[in-house]
Structure 1
């Protein structure tokens, strides 16, 4: 036995290196980052401005049109007219603009390749999509409520020429006006979900246009009583029920209609999250 033999220690490998302290990315950090992104991107400002101009401008235009043609309206048209009617018509044009914002919030990152950098910083994709959705919803809700109120107060002096105007204190009017902002927020979230599913700006905007504008018009041509029942459950027709001070013929009740639209939005958002977590960036 060689008593002088020494045991040589094996050199320390990578496993022996001290573990690095990796800072955990908290949900609050992701929210702050998304807030910074959405308020510093120029397209956000211009799209919101376009939506505001369309909604307020078309509300005034349709208030003028209804005032000028009220004497030629049928008894049925007069019976269903409310101080919110010009705003309801204007919404069909403005909602596509607000939907475009929801699309751009996610597809712009795919087109520039920033999505890969973002997901490297935020590995938990559910947190990333949730933060983006929440920030978008809050921004559109705040702007949407303000713009809907502005549209209402711009339209009423024009309607007053034919004594068609109303007050924010009239039954159901405050709910209708505030509900308009809530509907715009849901529209933006639905568009974000579609943008996440398609990952292409033009295709997503076209799909938003079809779902919110074309489908609602096409539903009006469905024949028979079953057509009437299907028509009121179409996305834009269901959501638009919140804009009426009281339930209108052929429409769901205001909160029921908005709830149906919220279900559509939730289903699309859930599908978007599933694919978002499974697909490569």
Structure 2
């Protein structure tokens, strides 16, 4: 008589939560029938089903708009108080987008949690059982995280810019038709999208949320200042511009670019950082157990 081995309750629960497994079982498909569009759909279902992802992403939008409005109000008050010299050296677009420093950490956290949460609850093992090649799962997460981040951040950047210019008022406010302004607004959304992917790569490499978030924070905020203190000026000036935060500033900055890369070079450097982290993540994902 054949022996029937019951599937553990935990395993059944994980399988029930995983969209790839559900779709395959309902349609009678094996893992060989899994296609990349189905894996993307699976990752989209996972991301949208977790309320914390949307709360965190919307927090980044609120921070961008809030900090930008406060900075614009400060600039407006300074001008009203007779600080024309300060106003002459301050770009209104850059002022409106000044929330980038905090928003980049928040979107980086979204990227980290997209994958570390699945390492923590074991769902990734179930996904890999349905997609044995593994790498399509990582690339699907890249597509979903990039798409969601850019879709949220692009309108946020336009809202931040317009609100800031209304607050600044007068003759100092900028227009989208001004040189470099549209590039800075769209580039800001692109930069934050890249940072979310950098967080995804770090999360996949470290597999632990606290460590990956700490690394994001250090890389973007602490390392630039620390290297600026310890490196000789002759070395630091040429080195610091290639850090992701400074390269991103080259994309979004309007005005004198002393010490910064060109916008095109800055974009390539940021993409290089993202490609490096995701490349390491892909290699380790294939070699390590889930």
In structure 2, what is the equivalent of residue 82 of structure 1? Answer: 91
CA–CA distance in structure 2, aligned partners of residues 147 and 83 of structure 1 = 17
Change (3 A) 1:142 1:214: same
Shift of 1:73: 6.0
Give runs of aligned pairs for residues 62-81 of structure 1, distance below 5 A. Answer: 62-70=71-79, 78-81=87-90
What residue in structure 2 maps to residue 118 of structure 1?
127
1:201 to 2:209 alignment: yes
Contact kept, 8 Å, 1:238 with 1:258, in 2: the verdict is yes
Q: 1:273: which partner in 2? A: 282
Q: Contact conserved, 2:251 with 2:266, CA < 8 A, in 1?
A: yes
Equivalent pair of 1:84/1:243 in contact (CA under 8 Å) = no
Report the aligned-residue RMSD.
Answer: 2.0
Q: TM-score, normalised by structure 1?
A: 0.87
TM-score (norm 2): 0.84
Could you give the per-residue CA deviations for residues 133-191 of structure 1, whole angstroms, max 9, x where no partner exists? Answer: 11111110111111111110111011115x32100111111111011111111100000
1:21–1:232: structure 2 CA closer, same or farther, 3 Å change rule? closer
The alpha-carbon deviation at position 239 of structure 1 amounts to: 1.0
Contact 1:60-1:154 at 8 Å conserved across structures: yes
1:149 counterpart = 2:158: yes
Which residue, out of 223, 228, 237, partners 2:246? 237
Give the structure 2 partner of residue 172 of structure 1: 180
Is the Cα–Cα contact under 8 Å of residues 83 and 166 in structure 1 kept in the other structure?
yes
Shift of 1:132: 0.8
5 Å matches for 1:16-27? 22=30, 24-27=33-36
The whole-number CA distance in structure 2 between the counterparts of 1:218 and 1:65 is: 28
Q: 1:253 to 1:56 in 2, by over 3 A?
A: same
SS in 2 for 1:232: helix
The whole-number CA distance in structure 2 between the counterparts of 1:175 and 1:112 is 41
Q: 1:216 aligns with which of 215, 224, 227?
A: 224
Q: Does 1:227 align with 2:197?
A: no
| Cα displacement (A) at 1:29 | 0.7
Structure 1 residue 185 corresponds to structure 2 residue 185: no
- 1:247 is displaced (CA, Å) by 5.5
How far is the alpha carbon of 1:88 from its aligned partner?
A: 4.1
Q: Partners of 1:95 and 1:248 in 2: how far apart?
A: 21
Number of the residue aligned with 2:68: 59
User: Deviation of residue 66 (structure 1)?
Assistant: 2.3
Supply the distance in 2 between the matched residues of 1:119 and 1:102 (Cα, whole angstroms).
19
Picking from 247, 266, 271, the partner of 1:262 is 271
Are positions 1:127 and 2:127 aligned together? no
In structure 1, the gaps of 5 or more residues are 1-19
**Structure 1 residues 80 and 263: CA distance shift in structure 2, 3 A:** farther
When residues 233 and 156 of structure 1 are mapped into structure 2, their CA distance, relative to the original with a 3 A threshold, is same
Distance 1:256 1:80, change over 3 A: farther
